[in-house]
Amino acid sequence: MKITVSAVFDLPDLAASWMELEKRADAGFFLSWRWIGSWLRATGANPLLVKAVEGDQIAALALLVPSRRRSLFSSARQLCLHETGRPECDAVMIEHNHLLLARQAPQGLVADILRQLQGADPGWDELVLGGVSPQLMTEVRAAGLAVVVDRLSPVFGVELHQAQTQEQWESALSSNQRAQLRQ
């Protein structure tokens, strides 16, 4: 597996590679080129491209934007996954964020990418991962990075399994919630 981190890339080539990998990945809208391409054009972000290639196929892609977080007494150099690090641009928050990974990507690839990223550019102090799952946080820990959660956001969705009927799902709700749902 060859993992590269590059500050220079051709946008049309990235778009083609991203859309090709999308077809081989189980990613949602927020990792689609429709979202990522629009985000790049709207924000003018100048990210680092992280690419993992196995043989002649791309196994993973991610965009990390260098940023700086300043507080009264300190400053931290950050890399932000699919975000700019600027509150005015990141107010419309990405959800279900992750690296774009091929379905057939090897186990532990995310940890390998993070280790490569640490070795490729030690000029960052923090990796900002907004809108990510607990699964990704486990992979981050596996790469040897410390995790600090600055906020948790609720997920306003319900996973309905095929075997679960609407009546079974509704019976798990309070009577007030069922009444609101019927309205």
d(CA 94, CA 129): 10
d(CA 110, CA 116): 10
- Collapse the DSSP code of 7 into the 3-class scheme (helix H, G, I; strand E, B; otherwise coil) and give the result: coil
What sign has the CA pseudo-torsion 80, 82, 85, 91?
Answer: negative
pLDDT digits (tens, 9 = 90+) for 53-90: 999 999 999 999 988 887 788 888 888 889 887 877 77
Assigned token pair, 65: 């934007």
Ordered per-residue pLDDT tens for the chain, 183 residues: 999 989 899 999 999 999 999 999 998 899 999 999 999 999 999 999 999 999 999 999 999 998 888 778 888 888 888 988 787 777 777 788 899 999 999 988 999 998 888 877 667 788 888 888 888 888 888 888 878 777 777 666 666 665 566 677 777 778 888 888 778
Helix or strand (DSSP H, E) at 143: none
pLDDT for the residue 21: 97
What sign has the CA pseudo-torsion 5, 141, 130, 128?
Answer: negative
Query: Quick one: the chain helix, strand, coil %, rounded to 5?
Result: 35, 25, 40
d(CA 120, CA 64): 13
Domains of the chain in start order, with CATH, are 2-155 (3.40.630.30)
Per-residue burial over 88-105, b if 16 or more Cβ lie within 10 Å, else e, is eebeeebbebbbbbbeeb
